[in-house]
Amino acid sequence: MNRDTQVIKFFRKQIPTFACVPGCHDCCGPVLTSTTEMARLPRKSAAEQEAALAALSCPHLGADGCQVYEERPLVCRLFGTTPKLACPNGKRPVVMIDPQVEEQIFQYFTQVRHVLV
């Protein structure tokens, strides 16, 4: 397991979870993610990616929600767990992400190459 994979795995464990509003996908727009995280997602065709971008959506968003939920990028996991990425429906975990962990994640984002999902 390479260093980035270990770091991502560590951060995933630190991000609290909560139940979203069923059927809501308001935070499922185009996002930047690390190349390591992107490599774990199924490849989409250029046409699928272009259509999602034109709709300001994610190419991994299907009729029943996120098709890659277990492998979703860190930024997707952060939505609703921090005031910086608040849920538009006011949902949140009982305890928000630890501010130090949040800062470490945002610092990690500045250190890795990103691609558009």
pLDDT score recorded for residue 22: 87
pLDDT score recorded for residue 17: 95
Tokens 């939505």, located at residue: 79
Residue 1 confidence (pLDDT) above 80: no
Residue 78 confidence (pLDDT) above 80: yes
Q: Write down the mean pLDDT value for the chain.
A: 94
CA distance 10 to 55: 32
- The whole-number average pLDDT for the span 17-36 is 91
- Is the overall model pTM greater than 0.85, yes or no? yes
Residue 37 confidence (pLDDT) above 90: yes
Burial of 44 (0-12, 13-18, 19+ CB in 10 A): middle
- Domain boundaries of the chain, sorted by first residue: 3-19+26-116
